[in-house]
Chain A
């Protein structure tokens, strides 16, 4: 590793993941090695079924790989004697998830959906309150803070979920088609926000996307095909404005 580069926030080496056995076996990831550095916003592209979600889930400590090595923010995840509670702590402290489906808790209003992460992270109620409101307003859903998820539009719910993902100032932000439910103007706002977070908090953003409207907001792009990662490259700015 070059001494001029900082330590990567996300680093994987020859990570493999398969589902099923025999005829039903699917090799979702084959020896995937990548590194994402602080301040970067990286895209993950590839056709449907190529393993993009699986890769995010492995990095997000949701899915355990079959083989390979991985470290998050300098911490080796599956070292000897790792425990389930370590994964939970990593998810709470280091990772913010933004998923295709918003995954808000239906029995909490928007404000509490954001505040719960802050509670779990040990914020005082007052600090949690201020931060939650600030984030919701920033994502233009402050006026909906008392609404329950079932009462929100898809785009509003997605923005609340983003507020939740950013609440604990995670250093690694994993986003699976974060802008799919948003119009292009709001998609741009969300990507700008992620760029700002990456810059200010020295965070790494890894975003799966099909949305060519946001390619110009990516620093680098990885292509995934049949579970294999190609060389990273600059985003090809094709048919967009």
Chain B
């Protein structure tokens, strides 16, 4: 006869209500972990999507994401001639605000040359950019649909393709334009003084400016040897893909990452305390029954079993409900929530450990109870 199960069945409503409350709490914890994962993942999507090995940017800059970087567009040809380079692309990056359907739309514009590196990695609907002007591939998170017309600067662009989960580190969805269109947009949107400076600068031509050159390196060449080779150009700096990813996670999203990380830690602590309190009061409520069990000669393990099994049942059911709940609603979050099985397993393990520790407290209390307690009217 399993006493834990009998007791739960006898006051099922109360038990389920407790489990439900716990599942909400654990759901929040899980979503917070998911938000943290999403933040890091989103920060890296932009740098990972071109599948580059090398980033070439303006010298002294940690661009193009952490700092601004402007280099001449013809740099790409020079880089392409380096030993070991298999593919290259010139890219621009820029945040813009557009209006569509009467609503403001924050976009992160990626300009690339349609037949070179830097374009959308995977198109889920429509096609990639085919004409050199006025076509756009947008991420589904913009809520734009194929065929939508979006004014950007002086021109209007037609959505010809859609991607999924392509966002910049700030969470703005990506749109892809041809390099020419994006360069024109950058020039139009720059403040007048900067525009004059760009036009008057002898080194950088008015229109052919890009933010970075990306390159792929043949598998039998070390990316580091290629970045070393770019040192001959004093106005350029180069970094490997790994260095670029480190810049993004360590500096661009560092504060946000720490903020959410710390909050997740606080939430975990609070949950642990709440679980412990629930289990402790659950035991307190049963002291009389526990005294009766002792009175009729039940061994300690029967009493320990009752407490520990109920604590574990509550933890497991609460966690399972919470995980289901958050899986069901995660796509409604404005930013990506990534639930990794490993995180779920770790949280489940933490919950079980907390349950066991808290029930140890309850067990201590229960074993001290005098069987005579049961006789008090």
> Do A and B associate with each other?
yes
Q: Which residues of A contact B (CB under 8 A)?
A: 53, 57, 62-63, 85, 88-93, 95, 97, 99-101, 103-108, 112, 115-117, 119-120, 148, 164
A108 vs B294: C-alpha distance when bound (angstroms): 16
Number of cross-chain contacts by CB at 8 Å: 72
Known interface pairs A62-B371, A112-B6; A105-B297 also in contact (CB < 8 Å): no
Q: At the interface, yes or no: B7 with Cβ under 8 Å from chain A?
A: yes
Please give, as numbers and ranges, the residues of chain B lying within 8 Å of A107 by CB-CB distance: 3, 6-7, 9-11, 289
B348 at the interface (CB under 8 A from A): no
CB neighbours (8 Å) of B374 from chain A are 103
B377 beta carbon closer than 8 Å to chain A: yes
Please determine whether B10 and A106 come into contact, CB atoms closer than 8 angstroms.
yes
CB-nearest residue of chain A to B11: A107
Q: Once the chains are docked, how many angstroms separate the CA of A57 from the CA of B376?
A: 12
Residues of B participating in the A interface, judged by any CB pair closer than 8 Å: 1, 3, 6-7, 9-11, 289, 292-300, 302, 370-372, 374-375, 377
Known: A107-B6, A107-B10. A99 touches B375 (CB 8 A): yes
| A97 lies within 8 A of B10 (CB) | no
Question: In the complex the two chains form, is A112's CB within 8 Å of B1's CB?
Answer: yes
Q: Which residue of the partner chain, among B302, B372, B377, contacts A120 with CB atoms under 8 Å?
A: B302
- Candidates A57, A85, A89, A164; contact of B296 at CB < 8 Å: A164
Please give, as numbers and ranges, the residues of chain B lying within 8 Å of A63 by CB-CB distance: 372
Instruction: Decide: A91 near B6, CB < 8 A? Known: A99-B375, A105-B289, A107-B289.
Output: no
User: In the complex, which residue of chain B has the Cβ closest to the Cβ of A95?
Assistant: B297
> Do A116 and B375 touch across chains, with their CB atoms under 8 A apart?
no
Alpha-carbon gap, A89 to B294, bound state (A): 10
Interface pair A88/B302, CB less than 8 Å apart: no
Which A residues are in CB contact (< 8 Å) with B293?
Answer: 105
> How far apart sit A36 and B371, CA to CA, in the bound complex (Å)?
24
* New A-B contacts (15) at CB < 8 Å, excluding given A95-B297, A108-B3, A119-B1: A62-B371, A62-B372, A88-B294, A100-B377, A103-B375, A105-B289, A105-B293, A107-B7, A107-B9, A112-B6, A116-B296, A116-B298, A120-B297, A120-B298, A120-B302
- Kindly list chain B residues whose C-beta atoms are within 8 Å of the C-beta of A57: 372, 375
B58, chain A: closest CB distance, angstroms: 74
Set B1, B289, B295, B297: member contacting A115, Cβ < 8 A: B1
Picked from A89, A90, A105, the residue with its CB within 8 Å of the CB of B292 is A105
- Could you tell me if B297 and A91 are in contact, using CB atoms closer than 8 angstroms? yes
Smallest CB separation, A8 vs chain B (Å): 22
A97 to B295, CA, bound (A): 8
Which residues of A sit under 8 angstroms from B371, Cβ to Cβ?
Answer: 62, 91
Candidate in B9, B292, B377 with the most chain A CB atoms within 10 angstroms: B292
Q: Which residues of A contact B294 (CB under 8 A)?
A: 88, 91
Of A90, A101, A104, which contacts B377 at CB under 8 A? Answer: A101
State the Cβ distance, A177 to closest chain B Cβ, in Å. 12
A116 to B294, CA, bound (A): 12
9 A-B residue pairs with Cβ-Cβ distance under 8 Å, sorted by A, are: A62-B372, A91-B296, A92-B298, A97-B295, A104-B292, A105-B289, A108-B3, A120-B296, A120-B299
